[in-house]
């Protein structure tokens, strides 16, 4: 069973578990990480990034930009 998170079920158990195992359980925590860093996690792919980006945007948030 996936760890409890704010992330939607459509993300999938593997992706939600990968995020939780790396300390990400809330949307606001994702503002500290880039998409490239998330893509390095096993279980996170392009579909996961798309879903998370949409969820972040709905909350007025975004992933950290590469500087």
Per-residue pLDDT tens over the stretch 41-61: 999 999 999 999 999 999 999
Structure tokens at 14: 């593997």
The verdict on residue 48 lying in a domain is yes
Query: Model pTM greater than 0.85?
Result: yes
Count of domains observed in the chain: 1
The pLDDT, as a whole number, for residue 3 is 55
- 22 lies in a domain? yes
Range of the domain at 42: 9-58
What is the pLDDT confidence band of residue 1, given thresholds at 50, 70 and 90? low
Among 56, 31, 52, 55, CA closest to 43: 52
What pLDDT digit, counting tens, does each position of 15-36 carry? Answer: 999 999 999 999 999 999 999 9
Domain harbouring 46, CATH code: 1.10.150
Residue 65 lies in a domain: no
Query: Quick check: is 23 in a domain?
Result: yes
Is 34 a member of any domain?
Answer: yes
């Amino acid at each position: 069973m996936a760890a409890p998170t704010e992330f939607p079920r459509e993300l999938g158990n593997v992706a939600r578990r990968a995020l939780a195992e790396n300390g990400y359980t809330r949307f606001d925590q994702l503002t500290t990480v880039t998409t490239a860093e998330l893509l390095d996690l096993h279980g996170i792919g392009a579909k996961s990034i798309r879903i998370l980006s949409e969820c972040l945007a709905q909350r007025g948030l975004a992933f950290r930009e590469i500087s």
